[in-house]
Amino acid sequence: MARGARIVGLAAAAGLALSACSVGEGVDLAGAGELDTDDYLRVAIAGEPDQLDPHNTSAYFSFQILENVYDTLVEPDENLEMQPALAESWEVSEDQLSWTFRLREDVVFHDGSPFTAEDVVYSYDRIIDEQLANAYRLSAVEDVVAVDEHTVRIDVSQPTPALLAAIGGYKGMAIVEQQNVESGDVQLDPVGTGPFEVAGNTAGTAVTLRANDDYWGEGPHVPGVVYRFISEGSTALADLTAGEVHWTDSIPPQRVNSLRQNPDVEVAGVPSTDYWYVTMNQARPPFDSPEARLAVARAIDREAIAQVTWYGNATINQTAVPETSVWYHEYAPFEQDPERARQLAESSGLAGETIDLMVTNEYPETVTAAQVIAANLSDIGVSTNIRTLDFATWLDEQAQGNFDMLLLGWLGNVDVNDYYYNQHHSEGSNNAQGYSNPEVDRLLEAGRTETDPDARKELYDRAAEQIVDDASYVYLYNPDVVQAWAPELQGYEARPDRAIRFKDVRLEEDTE
């Protein structure tokens, strides 16, 4: 799932559609068996990374690990505001077309080679030149120049207020080492500058990280981290309560409330930047009619969907941006109204039809939600054929336009542009539903270049309202980030963008 921007997009995310959560084949590195990991932090994640190249993977399970291996020039703090990371400072030219970053001089990669401006140039050029999945994040970039060993300049074609979020919003924009990439080792044995380095793994079972003694920042305060892949949430929770692992986010939603009553477990639930939605194929009748899409928007019961999927651990929302974001805009025009929905269904030709609703069994919540939606549509005279696919097939069918309706989510968005442009601009790279509204295009284009924050928010507020009114997406809810850990794990904070950071944590026995 688009953590990137996740779902990928969640998240991400990219934007990370939920392809950022896809589960892939395991990686296999040597050496983990030789480590003494008794004092390591042990965590349970729900799946195995497909690879460890941050520029090529879109799997959230990969980024759960890579968050601690790589750095970006800037990175979001707990409030999702961009802070220095590999760049100590930056300035923007008066015409807003050049960003100059001063880099830290005390940084080395895990193999001991120095980090310089050329590494930044190589990393961003690689993404752009090879047209990797995140190339759209650098679409405004005209050139990346190493001014000197510790200064890099990014020239853009137009004012780009979202540039910091684009290059620092998630580790898919990490700074990589050229030799590590060109050797091909980056896929299995990545070399970053982050607080931990990959020490090995056992395919299908675990990845092990070792503390980077030469890390440029504070921490880490644990000697290493062992990631275990435990897809069954009840097993992960049993291991947590038994002391076999210290942390997990593999938690069945129905177990969250009871878990909060356990005095031996710390539980965090924070509103996420993810959103879940239904969309309809506007290249096909009857969903080429706004009335047909609005019939769906009026028919569905969001509260029931959130309850059966997340057991209440979600916030109903009719726009993409969650309430906790500075970009939130309160706009919720749709009450469930079966009578009005039935009228719209009849006038648009939707009534009496059998609609294909595409979901994926890799995200069981989509299957569960689809059952509620099918019941809601049945009430207005519409039959639903729920088509459950593996995620790879789901993605292919979406790309081919072989669907009437689909249900999924995006995750890990930081800047408001990430929530709307690629999904709803006529030329958006993730506009699989085929939405096109010239006024929305104009607003989204203006929002990309407007540098006044208040004026920019106004543009996106107006775009969001039109997107909702046109039912390009029918938004459902923003789920909570729910994570649990043992009391001896100190200093951990759950984040709304689902970035899992362990550089600041301590185990009680390791407290200095």
* CATH of residue 106: 3.90.76.10
Q: pLDDT value at position 395?
A: 87
Residues 151 and 236 in one domain: no
Q: pLDDT value at position 47?
A: 86
Residues 303 and 435 in one domain: yes
Q: Is residue 328 part of a domain?
A: yes
Residues 449 and 494 in one domain: no
pLDDT tens for the chain, residues 1 to 512: 433 444 433 333 333 334 333 333 344 444 455 678 999 999 999 888 889 999 998 788 899 999 999 999 999 998 899 999 999 999 999 999 999 999 999 999 999 999 999 999 999 999 999 999 889 899 999 999 999 999 999 999 999 999 999 999 999 999 999 999 999 999 989 999 999 999 987 788 899 999 999 999 999 999 999 999 998 999 999 999 999 999 999 999 899 999 999 999 999 999 899 999 999 999 999 999 999 999 999 999 999 999 999 998 999 999 999 998 999 999 999 999 999 999 999 999 999 999 999 999 878 889 999 999 999 999 999 999 999 999 889 989 999 999 999 999 887 788 999 999 999 999 998 899 999 999 999 999 999 999 999 999 999 999 999 999 999 999 999 999 999 999 999 999 999 999 999 999 999 865 44
Q: pLDDT value at position 231?
A: 85
Q: Is the omega angle on the peptide bond into residue 286 within 30 degrees of 0, that is, cis?
A: yes
Distances (CA, A) of 288 to 349, 442, 472: 11, 21, 10
- Strands 275-280 and 473-485 turn out to be antiparallel
* CATH of residue 204: 3.40.190.10
Structure-block tokens of residue 36: 């003494």
Distance CA 512, CA 327 (A): 40
* CATH of residue 436: 3.10.105.10
Structure-block tokens of residue 460: 């996106």
Instruction: Domain of residue 140: give its range.
Output: 70-179
Residues 334 and 468 in one domain: yes
Q: φ and ψ at 156, to 5 degrees?
A: -120, 160
Q: Is residue 287 part of a domain?
A: yes
Structure-block tokens of residue 255: 């177990």
Out of 179, 207, 237, a domain closes at 179
- Strands 87-92 and 74-76 turn out to be unpaired
CB of 257 closer than 8 Å to CB of 311: yes
* Closest to 23 measured CA to CA, from 182, 250, 180: 250
Out of 179, 203, 227, a domain closes at 179
CB of 467 closer than 8 Å to CB of 440: yes
Q: pLDDT value at position 33?
A: 56
Q: pLDDT value at position 205?
A: 87
Q: Is residue 187 part of a domain?
A: no
Q: pLDDT value at position 17?
A: 37
Q: Is residue 185 part of a domain?
A: no
Residues 219 and 166 in one domain: no
Residues 239 and 172 in one domain: no
Q: Is residue 12 part of a domain?
A: no
Residues 249 and 282 in one domain: no
Q: Is residue 37 part of a domain?
A: no
Residues 255 and 342 in one domain: no
Residues 296 and 338 in one domain: yes
CB of 140 closer than 8 Å to CB of 160: yes
Q: Is residue 45 part of a domain?
A: no
Distance CA 44, CA 27 (A): 17
Residues 280 and 340 in one domain: yes
Question: Residues 252-283: pLDDT tens digits?
Answer: 989 999 999 999 999 999 989 999 999 999 99
Q: Is residue 9 part of a domain?
A: no
Give the helix/strand (H/E) hosting 504.
none
| Structure-derived torsion over alpha carbons of residues 292, 295, 299, 302, reported in degrees to the nearest 10 | 80
Give the helix/strand (H/E) hosting 295.
helix 290-299
For the chain, how many structural domains are there in total? 3
Residues 289 and 234 in one domain: no
Residues 357 and 311 in one domain: yes
Out of 149, 179, 209, a domain closes at 179
